[in-house]
Structure 1
Amino acid sequence: MASRRAGAKTYEQVGLAAWQATEKVNAELFTLTYGAIVRQVLADYEDCVPEANAKLDAMGRSIGGRLIEEFNAKNEQQRCVDFRDTCETIAGVALRMFLGVGGHCADWNADHTSCLVVMETNPLADFVELPERYRDLSYGQMLCGVIVGALEQVQTRATCEWEKDALRGGDGFAMRVTLVGQIDTPYPFDD
């Protein structure tokens, strides 16, 4: 989808420029390292899938809180003006910048506070087959946590969950991102 700003580059163009300017890590190493993290979390929680999902989400929130600084430093696009612009930036720029995959927003609700961020592919899920006992594992939950954690750092409270997950029988990969509200930050000075 093209940018809604007149004369601005499209989200895809900005994302590709950010991807080209970012130092790369071997994709297979990245995927296997992520898999080792998920396996260790499952071992730490004695294969309790709900607890593992919660831990992956918490780890992602922590990562997102740090990645937003790098994103803001390297992103040549103007500041997002609303939640729709923010989600388009996540899908078109951030996913490309950090994972090397494109995405787009779809299935917006009427007031533009909820959408699907549809990914072309999910590099975290390469080489992965979930055994039946882990059918409820949200394998990529860390990515949802990253989005929520990054948004919290820019005073936006949101939820994110996998709505389509090919590892659990879905037809592709899509996360539902929903705006909960803005985070009020108290002004630290008495004026």
Structure 2
Amino acid sequence: MAMSRPTNRRPENHKISKELFVLTHGALVAQLCKDHEADEDVNKYLDQMGYNIGIRLVEDFLARSSIKKCRSYNETADIIAKIAFKMYLGITPSVICRKESANEFSLVLDKNPLLDFVEELPVGRASLCFSNLLCGVLRGALEMIHLPADVQFIQDQLKGGNVTEIGITFLRKNDDKKHRRNK
């Protein structure tokens, strides 16, 4: 007897996976806070773990999304927000270009899914970046596609911000002449 997979299971599995990830992330941060007194150490560990996830996750993203090479930083930021965040976290952040140089962007999350079960930072942890894993994931994934970037939080809802804002600064200048030749 052949078993078939119900077609309606994918969205349910995605939601369960997201909730499991969010709960696991909370437990991870709690354990790191127990293991390390300094918030900077916890932030560093979260960033490094995220980086390691990002360098592996980018292959899955490219395979599942069928994205071709981006022609600009603006296009890259849009794909991160509209496809990657939607695919893995079920949200679509807004993209804001922060500088006229077109290499600095912000991803603005009205609702940060990593904070679904968190109301406030632990007592005495004012400089903790609870969601710093996201910065590491973005940095690692971008590095794997040869787009080194500085990624950091600009606003954090756990620290009184109205939104969660992640700043991305691409570290190489966009070579417009190269792109014109390849068109």
TM-score (norm 1): 0.79
Aligned pairs for 1:149-168 within 5 A: 149-168=140-159
AA partner of residue 146 (structure 1): V
After the TM superposition, which segments of 4 or more aligned residues of structure 1 sit over 6 Å from their partners? none
| Residues 1:54 and 2:47 aligned together | no
Aligned pairs for 1:1-40 within 5 A: 23-26=13-16, 27-40=18-31
- 8 Å Cα contact 1:102/1:120 also seen in 2: no
Which of 58, 81, 85 does residue 91 from structure 1 map onto?
81
**Distance in 2 separating the partners of 1:181 and 1:146:** 19
- Does the residue aligned with 2:171 lie in a helix, a strand or coil? strand
**Offset, 1:164:** 1.2
**Offset, 1:22:** 9.7
Distance 1:166 1:109, change over 3 A: same
**Offset, 1:111:** 1.3
- 8 Å Cα contact 1:57/1:145 also seen in 2: yes
Q: Percent identity?
A: 34
**Offset, 1:127:** 1.8
**Distance in 2 separating the partners of 1:156 and 1:167:** 29
Tell me the matched-pair count: 162
- 8 Å Cα contact 1:117/1:174 also seen in 2: yes
- 8 Å Cα contact 1:118/1:175 also seen in 2: yes
**Distance in 2 separating the partners of 1:146 and 1:22:** 24
| Structure 2 match to 1:111 | 101
Which of 48, 56, 60 does residue 66 from structure 1 map onto?
56
Deviations 1:37-84 (A, max 9, x none): 111122222x31000000100000000000000000011333211211
| Residues 1:173 and 2:164 aligned together | yes
**Distance in 1 separating the partners of 2:20 and 2:123:** 25
| Structure 1 match to 2:134 | 143
Gaps of 5+ in 1: 1-19, 183-191
Question: Which of structures 1 and 2 has the bigger CA Rg?
Answer: 2
Gaps of 5+ in 2: 1-9, 174-183
- Does the residue aligned with 1:24 lie in a helix, a strand or coil? helix
